Amino acid sequence: MAAKNLYFVGTAGCGKSTLTYAFQLWMQSQGHDAITVNLDPGVETLMYAPDVDVRDWVEIEDIMKEYGLGPNGAQIAAADMMALNIKEISDVVAGFDTDYVLIDTPGQLELFTFRQSSKIIVEELGIEDSALAFLFDPSVARSPNGYVSSLMLAATVHFRHPVPMLLLMAKADMLKDDDKELIEAWSRDQYSLFASLLDESKDAQTSVSIEFLQALESIGAGRAVVPVSADTGEGLEQIYSAVQLALQGGEDLD
């Protein structure tokens, strides 16, 4: 049986790397095999030792020096070089006997979203068995307008990578209970989100948010957002069941 690929995706600093590792530890504590793959060629320090590390093939520092590029240009070059090396990277990943491959993606979300190289990477690693975990950053998504922007971003990523996608509210431990309840209500029921948008001091952004929200609904992007925390372990089990459901019709690995 092919391993399942789960990509942790989201804006810079939203908690992708920490959650990738926390989820690996949780999987292992439940007796499931999971390896981690670092797809971020620019990361300087990681809090875990990835089983497969793209920096073994491509390193930002070297690219900057060799081609005289700045950090962003080098990221783009690195993404293309990763795609050129993806057969070899994918062979190394396939060499592990594991149920799950947890993939930590770069903070430059636009690279993963818009570059053709990332589509090549996802395909080569096995698109059939892949899912995305899109992380909302609570510092953005706790306001109604920020929540709608996060949904829009998630919808854009999903549009580019049409595989099952889970929406996660990262760092849920940082949210006050009241905020968490409100966000859960928004995620269950779009009318409560409409109500909160209208409650906020109404400005030009509010009407745009409402229009976008209506558009998102009509393309079916409204879905539950699961609160998760790498710190407390909240929601990790739900990530597992949601991926099982999405990729295996709900049977447990065991």
Q: Give the Cα separation of 89 and 124 in Å (integer).
A: 9
| Comparison of 11 and 130: residue with beta carbon closer to ligand GTP | 11
Q: How far is the CB of 222 from Mg ion (least distance, A)?
A: 28
Q: Give the Cα separation of 121 and 38 in Å (integer).
A: 13
- Tell me which of ligand GTP, Mg ion, none is bound by residue 231, counting a contact when its beta carbon lies within the kind-specific cut-off of 5 to 8 angstroms: ligand GTP
Q: Looking at the chain, how many residues does it have? A: 254
Rg, C-alpha atoms of the chain: 18
Is there binding between residue 55 and ligand GTP (CB under 6 A)?
no
Is there binding between residue 180 and ligand GTP (CB under 6 A)?
no
Q: Give the C-alpha distances (Å, rounded to integers) separating 80 from 11, 76, 116.
A: 20, 6, 8
Is there binding between residue 13 and ligand GTP (CB under 6 A)?
yes
AA identity, residue 84: L
10 backbone φψ class: left, alpha, beta (φ>0; ψ -120 to 50): left
Judged by CB under 6 A, the chain residues 115 through 174 that form the site for ligand GTP are 171, 173-174
| Comparison of 196 and 240: residue with beta carbon closer to ligand GTP | 240
| Comparison of 108 and 130: residue with beta carbon closer to ligand GTP | 108
Q: Report which residue's Cβ sits closest to Mg ion.
A: 17
Q: Give the C-alpha distances (Å, rounded to integers) separating 28 from 55, 70, 127, 183, 227.
A: 25, 39, 24, 30, 21
| Comparison of 102 and 216: residue with beta carbon closer to ligand GTP | 102
Site residues, Mg ion (CB under 5 A): 16-17
Considering only residues 180, 229, 246, 247, which one is a binding residue for ligand GTP as defined by CB under 6 A?
A: 229
